[in-house]
């Protein structure tokens, strides 16, 4: 536990710092804000791929979805803890530098600056804090020795993150009209829908298959707190999916840019 937590606490900030410094050499014309924002997205993608791989390993290793154990399900949760704490700080850095570029920044680390950040990113911060304060104790202690399969499923929800990050990177590089951006938009929709929306009915179906229950009866045969936790997890995903669909409609309905005479 402590070793994994310490490694995560070193790995993510270290990778972020290396990325910021590398971009200073690779793209000297970029502002510090641009380097920080891009580096944050790159580290986010790395963590997402690690989480997805961990989840797939756990899912395919657990034939009994309730009782089978896998060490990655327990150990990777401490990687998630270190990443979430790191990511809240990086989100704050990105927010502050964006405000500074617009001339709207309060003094760094001041109460006004932190309050501005919390208002702007309240949903993401709430999501991160929910994982740290609620989901982590449940996944590491209160569930006992049950449900590694379902923990693995939750890890795979990160599959959409690299595509979300790539879309933002392409916007940052002013490639929003490229074919790659449109293809990536489709991948964002598909992976987000499958791994953050369909994932929850899939977990109920997997339990029902093992227990010999139709999926609609599963919520009445599992503890209430499991249903509540799933509802709290899927609620922001539905909100974000609606936002993604709205952006996708704007992207694919937008008329092509007119050719400019050279």
Asked if residue 99 has pLDDT above 70, the reply is: yes
Q: What is the pLDDT of residues 162-211, one digit of tens each?
A: 999 999 899 888 888 888 988 998 999 999 999 999 999 999 999 999 99
Weakest-pLDDT range from 5-19, 201-215, 224-238: 224-238
CA dist., res. 48 & res. 70, Å (int) = 19
Q: Which two tokens stand for residue 160?
A: 């959409």
For tokens 């995903």, name the residue. 237
Q: Which residues contact 187 (CB under 8 A, 6 or more apart)?
A: 163
Q: What percent of the chain has pLDDT over 70?
A: 95
> What CA dihedral angle connects 174, 177, 180 and 183, to 10 degrees?
130
3-state secondary structure of 146: coil
Across residues 96-114, what is the average pLDDT? 87
Quote the pLDDT of residue 140: 79
Asked if residue 105 has pLDDT above 80, the reply is: no
Q: Report the candidate in 159, 157, 152, 8 with the shortest Cα–Cα distance to residue 74.
A: 152
Longest dimension (CA), the chain: 68
Across residues 110-131, what is the average pLDDT? 89
Given a contact cutoff of 8 angstroms between Cβ atoms, the answer to whether 245 and 192 are in contact is no
Quote the pLDDT of residue 1: 75
Quote the pLDDT of residue 244: 87
For tokens 């790659």, name the residue. 180
Quote the pLDDT of residue 232: 85
The structural domains of the chain, with segments of one domain joined by +, span 2-253
Asked if residue 251 has pLDDT above 80, the reply is: no
Asked if residue 256 has pLDDT above 70, the reply is: no
pTM of the prediction?
0.86
Q: Which two tokens stand for residue 51?
A: 């989480």
Q: What is the pLDDT of residues 129-168, one digit of tens each?
A: 988 888 888 777 777 788 899 999 999 999 999 999 999 8
Asked if residue 259 has pLDDT above 60, the reply is: no
Q: Report the candidate in 142, 141, 138 with the shortest Cα–Cα distance to residue 130.
A: 138
**CA distances for 33 relative to 22, 100, 253, angstroms:** 14, 9, 31
Q: Which residues contact 224 (CB under 8 A, 6 or more apart)?
A: none
């Amino acid at each position: 536990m402590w070793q994994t937590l310490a490694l995560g606490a070193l790995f993510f900030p270290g990778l972020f710092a290396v990325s910021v410094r590398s971009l200073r050499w690779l793209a000297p014309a970029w502002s510090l804000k641009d380097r920080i924002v891009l580096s944050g997205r790159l580290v986010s993608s790395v963590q997402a791929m690690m989480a997805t791989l961990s989840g797939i390993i756990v899912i395919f290793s657990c034939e009994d979805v309730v009782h089978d154990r896998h060490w990655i399900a327990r150990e990777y949760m401490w990687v998630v803890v270190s990443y979430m704490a790191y990511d809240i700080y990086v989100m704050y850095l990105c927010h502050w530098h964006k405000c500074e570029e617009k001339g709207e920044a309060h003094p760094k680390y001041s109460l006004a600056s932190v309050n501005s950040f919390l208002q702007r990113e309240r949903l993401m911060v709430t999501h991160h804090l929910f994982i740290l304060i609620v989901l982590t104790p449940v996944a590491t202690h209160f569930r006992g020795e049950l449900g590694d399969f379902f923990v693995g499923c939750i890890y795979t929800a990160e599959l959409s993150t690299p595509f979300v990050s790539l879309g933002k990177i392409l916007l940052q590089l002013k490639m929003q009209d490229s074919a790659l951006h449109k293809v990536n938009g489709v991948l964002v929709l598909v992976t987000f829908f499958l791994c953050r929306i369909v994932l929850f009915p899939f977990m109920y179906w997997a339990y029902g298959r093992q227990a010999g229950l139709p999926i609609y009866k599963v919520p009445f045969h599992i503890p209430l707190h499991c249903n509540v936790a799933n509802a709290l997890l899927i609620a922001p995903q539905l909100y974000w999916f609606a936002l993604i669909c709205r952006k996708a409609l704007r992207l694919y309905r937008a008329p092509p840019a007119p050719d400019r005479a050279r």
